[in-house]
Amino acid sequence: MARPLKIAWKHPAEVFYQLYKQEVDARIAKRWQALWMLRRGERLKRVKELVGVAHVTVQRWVRWYEAGGLEEVGRHRLGSGVRPYEAWTPAQEQRLREAVSEGRFRTIGEAMAWCEKELGVAVSYKKLYYWFRRWGYRKKVPWPMAEKADVQTQEGWKKGGYWQPCRRRG
């Protein structure tokens, strides 16, 4: 049997409830909710199930509270705080967007090669595909046509050429 969780409370349950209700960030609101429930006397097992986190996470929040109070619990943010690596500078991005708008690329592979040659930046296929989609660029190249295709017959077909012989037959 596990030992009971003993917490040195510095604030009443109402304080945690108010913080929980006022918090805009849902991840931090979970912390206030868990601490509020623990302060009211709920068991750790029930709190972790209701809040939807592991018991070690709730224990970490309690340690933060005991170490620095409310400020410490609200201070922690997820992630390292380091901005993600950006493939290019805003000036390089502008040059790339201009090149795409001019229709310089038929494929993403060509755009990748251009980025490496002109901008000096190696960009993965997935990353370039993601940014092209985000910027609203779509592939505007028609499907290739067979060498033996008869363009006049196809145009006639598009204009309802198939139905003409059927109507004549009755």
- pLDDT at position 80 is 53
Residue 146, in any domain of the structure: no
Tell me: do 71 and 98 sit in the same domain: no
- pLDDT at position 138 is 80
Which pLDDT tens digit goes with each residue over 63-103?
999 999 999 998 887 765 555 667 788 899 999 999 988 88
Write out the two tokens for 92.
């390089």
Residue 167, in any domain of the structure: no
122: left (phi over 0), alpha (psi -120 to 50) or beta: beta
Tell me: do 17 and 71 sit in the same domain: yes
Contact 31, 73 (CB under 8 A): yes
Instruction: Give mean pLDDT in consecutive 10-residue pieces for the chain, a chain of 170 residues.
Output: 77 92 90 94 92 92 92 79 71 92 88 93 90 84 80 77 55
Tell me: do 63 and 98 sit in the same domain: no
Residue 126, in any domain of the structure: yes
- pLDDT at position 65 is 93
Q: Is the dihedral of CA 57, 62, 68, 73 positive or negative?
A: positive
Residue 84, in any domain of the structure: no
Residue 83, in any domain of the structure: no
What is the pTM for the complete model shown?
Answer: 0.48
Residue 52, in any domain of the structure: yes
Residue 23, in any domain of the structure: yes
- pLDDT at position 18 is 94
Residue 82, in any domain of the structure: no
Tell me: do 51 and 101 sit in the same domain: no
Tell me: do 60 and 104 sit in the same domain: no
- pLDDT at position 7 is 86
Amino acid at site 68: G
- pLDDT at position 139 is 73
Tell me: do 70 and 98 sit in the same domain: no
Domain ranges, residue 33: 13-75
Number of compact structural domains in the chain:
2
